[in-house]
Structure 1
Amino acid sequence: MTFKDLGLSPALVKAVEEKGYTKPSPIQEKAIPHILEGKDILASAQTGTGKTAGFTLPVLQYLSETKHPKYRPLRALVLTPTRELAAQVYDNVREYSKYVNIKSAVVFGGVNAKPQIATLKNGVDILVATPGRLLDLHDRKAVSFKRVDVLILDEADRMLDMGFVRDINKIISFMPEKRQNLMFSATFSNDIKKLAATILRNPVSVETAPQNSTAKKVTHKVYKVDKKQKTELAIKLIKDNNWTQVLVFTRTKHGANKLTEKLIKAGISAAAIHGNKSQGARTKALKNFKDNSIKILVATDIAARGLDIPLLPHVINFELPNVPEDYVHRIGRTGRAGAAGEAISFVCSEEVEYQSEIEKILKEKLNSSVLEGFEPTDTAPPKRAATQSKGSFGKKKKQRPSNGNPGGSTDDKRPKRKPHFKGNKPAGATSGRGRTGAPKKKRY
């Protein structure tokens, strides 16, 4: 099957082929026809399999076919959890829309809002945004959601993890009841399904890989090592194997900064990326990593989504994530689009429980070994303090994971807001959503 066979216009097919793609991926093949028909979608696909094009292409086609000759109200909105993912999605939108008369823009926090306000004032057809900055702009009356025809939630599970559900519901409350809704993510938890039930209407479920699966060409390796020896082991592996591009994950921002400093002292070029870094610093670090100006990018889980690095050969879990599903997203940065990749994890005695939980969701054992000279001697028991704490009556109470970003910027982790609506269902979530042709002229 080709992109033309899916019903895409010649202009979009031309743009896709110029990117080097001739055959749609499984998620694109399954989702695009349904989206073109105006149906709501609940899509789960392994990261790196083309989810972005899966919703971008059909939405661009809809916008180009129903565009008003004079007015440009915002008609398609893409919400993402992080700035990096927003920037990546926006880049894809620009590339795929080069041969159609569609205006697009991206807005996120950490940068001056004035240029974003000026861009929105000139009119855009499709907007990619993080929830925090988008609500700020709405409060300033710089953007209106009254004519949105299509809402896309990208990496919806991460948005829930980061506490964006109130912001999402508030944004939805400002939208027309009749619209198309697309929810895309690598995994879907029970919480995501509950959210989907309040937003989607008679959705088509699309899944191209088992939930919590990783790319087939990614090899997994675990090194058992003492907590205090992890940095030394990382330096040895990088130097001995002459690795030139490695994405390293830590659980905290402080840990990312500390490891980066030690790598640099060891003569290894490195940079850190996390929620406390300015947007300029994050953009620069990612650019330098992509063009191989630095060898190592040390990141918290905020970077597990939205980092599209072609042919990234190695990912190191310096610390295992305390939420097992996050392992899938971290590892999803390598082995993308059918390429081979290697996922290496350093596991100390305190993390054996995390490893067991990861193996449970992957339904496979991770190969463990001990490197000579790094034989572990720690006997510290497994810790669960990061995800559980004692309640007032001594019962264990689950805590939302920090994702390496406790107290981070308002864009990456929004403070709790008072719900805009009463009850569990957001305003505008009970009526029909499907499209029935071009928008009525009176809506402009």
Structure 2
Amino acid sequence: MIRTFAELDLDQNLIEAIEQMGFERPTQIQADAIPQALDGKDVLASAPTGTGKTAAFVLPALQYLQDFPRKKAGPARVLILTPTRELAMQVADQARALAKNTNLNIFTITGGVMYQEHADILGTTQDIVVATPGRLMEYIEAERFDCRAIEWLILDEADRMLDMGFGPVVDRLSAECRWRKQTLLFSATLEGKGVEGFTEDLLKNPVKIEADPSRRERKKITQWYHRADNAEHKLALLKAILSDQAERSIIFVKTRERLAELRGQLESVQIVCSWIQGEMPQDRRNNAIQRFRDGEVNVLIATDVAARGIDLPDVSHVINYDMPRTADVYLHRIGRTARAGKKGNAISIIEAHDQPMIERVMRYTKDEIKERYIKDLRPKAKKPTFKKKKKKSAETKKKSNVKKKTGKKK
């Protein structure tokens, strides 16, 4: 069992950077993935946001570059692919912080940046490039980026790249980097589309690592829910939570329409908020995130599409104003609070039709989520109970199939 970063065979300059960043002990994914990556193995890891996954692939990459220093100036040796520009910038920032005691160069190549800026970068020596697939492919096709020097290919949030339609581009990039020695793939889940959407030759005999946000990590998050009788009651509960309890909150809603409606309702009672949603111009999105980061506003409303992969400091409360469609998305959402060793709160405001979902979440996370009440805003309706559908036994299914067949007209 690895308990300290010193046990991970990392150079002292990396250990010092880790300590300066305030990391005390490796998370599960770091303890599992770093030794395997340093051993030269391909890694296939499932690690949701908030589990310390960035350091789990950046640290071994930095160690590798120090163990095998470059002999002459040249193109990048490590390529990290991320689905979005924000995530690329975050990964690069964390990599720079971890590499601060080295002389390694770390750059990003993403959309929304002037061509000339990238041309300047590509003309210098790069060690690590963090890129979004589409923009990088443009440079490869224009023969501006050389993949032949890539020794490590790392895919972050691979499942989201597939959701965004980057599968074919990533497969092409993998082929362009065919001389690489190692591949590391990180995905929130390894089931379903998590990895199957990529070609089989992406990884060679990978070591499989699954790191759920550990129960210990989740224990830092206090979870509870409030029941609402109707939409007005739900809004009243939210206003009470925002004015009495929450310091810095992210509120999750299902759709852009819901976001626009809620935004108007909060602004009408002088609750200032910023918001992010899918298909939002990059500069407006960055501005909204920056206002929340700087503490100019303390409430951020977001849809799931928009919020994936953003790392925001000091979020005290995650509020599920709309319940997510699946339990794993619930975990993603609440992982926005209690980061970097801090404590946090996750509150769900549910109507009757959400009750089965909150129960599903409890089964999935194996956490008990208790109901709480706010004085003068207690629900009047009784808590709904839902009968579980009985699974048909094989015998019953057989009988009903026989009936169907025999009941047909001759």
Alignment-derived partner of residue 146 in structure 1: 148
Distance 1:360 1:134, change over 3 A: farther
Alignment-derived partner of residue 286 in structure 1: 289
Aligned residues: percent identity? 37
CA–CA distance in 2 between the matches of 1:155 and 1:341?
24
2:157 corresponds, among 143, 155, 158, to 155
CA–CA distance in 1 between the matches of 2:256 and 2:145?
33
Distance 1:210 1:308, change over 3 A: closer
Alignment-derived partner of residue 230 in structure 1: 234
Alignment-derived partner of residue 404 in structure 2: none
CA–CA distance in 1 between the matches of 2:149 and 2:356?
49
Match status 1:343 vs 2:346: yes
CA–CA distance in 1 between the matches of 2:279 and 2:65?
37
Count, aligned residues: 380
Q: Deviations over 1:108-140 (max 9, x none)?
A: 224434423332232422111222332233333
Alignment-derived partner of residue 85 in structure 2: 83
Distance 1:349 1:22, change over 3 A: closer
Match status 1:30 vs 2:32: yes
2:223 corresponds, among 204, 220, 238, to 220
Match status 1:277 vs 2:305: no
CA–CA distance in 1 between the matches of 2:162 and 2:16?
36
C-alpha deviation, 1:229, in angstroms: 4.2
| Contact map agreement 1:147 1:176 (CA 8 A) in 2 | no
Higher relative contact order (CA 8 A, sep 6+): 1
Letter in 2 for 1:264: E
CA–CA distance in 2 between the matches of 1:232 and 1:337?
32
Match status 1:302 vs 2:302: no
C-alpha deviation, 1:8, in angstroms: 1.0
2:260 corresponds, among 257, 260, 269, to 257
C-alpha deviation, 1:316, in angstroms: 0.6
Letter in 2 for 1:90: A
Alignment-derived partner of residue 203 in structure 1: 206
Alignment-derived partner of residue 244 in structure 1: 247
Q: Write out aligned runs for 1:107-122 (5 A).
A: 107-122=109-124
| Contact map agreement 2:74 2:126 (CA 8 A) in 1 | yes
| Contact map agreement 2:273 2:297 (CA 8 A) in 1 | yes
Q: Deviations over 1:350-391 (max 9, x none)?
A: 434443443342234532356544637799xx9xxxxxxxxx
2:60 corresponds, among 58, 61, 69, to 58
C-alpha deviation, 1:324, in angstroms: 2.6
Match status 1:325 vs 2:328: yes
CA–CA distance in 1 between the matches of 2:243 and 2:94?
35
C-alpha deviation, 1:92, in angstroms: 0.7
C-alpha deviation, 1:56, in angstroms: 0.4
Comparing both structures, which one devotes a greater share of its residues to helix?
Answer: 2
| Contact map agreement 2:23 2:340 (CA 8 A) in 1 | no
Q: Deviations over 1:263-318 (max 9, x none)?
A: 22321221011233322222222222123211101111134432223332100111
Structure 1 length as normaliser, TM-score? Answer: 0.77
Alignment-derived partner of residue 40 in structure 1: 42
Match status 1:358 vs 2:361: yes
Distance 1:275 1:210, change over 3 A: closer
Alignment-derived partner of residue 311 in structure 1: 314
2:176 corresponds, among 168, 174, 177, to 174
Structure 2 length as normaliser, TM-score? Answer: 0.83
Alignment-derived partner of residue 136 in structure 2: 134
In the alignment, structure 1 segments of 5+ residues that lack a partner are: 383-444
Q: Aligned Cα RMSD in Å? A: 2.9
Matched residue of 1:343: which SS?
strand
Matched residue of 1:42: which SS?
strand
Distance 1:184 1:115, change over 3 A: same
C-alpha deviation, 1:46, in angstroms: 4.9
Matched residue of 1:267: which SS?
coil
C-alpha deviation, 1:7, in angstroms: 1.2
CA–CA distance in 2 between the matches of 1:82 and 1:326?
18
Q: Write out aligned runs for 1:363-442 (5 A).
A: 363-369=366-372, 371=374, 372-373=376-377, 375=379
Letter in 2 for 1:86: A
Letter in 2 for 1:63: L
Distance 1:318 1:117, change over 3 A: farther
1:68 corresponds, among 67, 70, 82, to 70
Q: Write out the 4+ residue segments of structure 1 that deviate beyond 6 Å after TM superposition.
A: 210-214, 376-379
Q: Mark the structure with the bigger radius of gyration.
A: 2
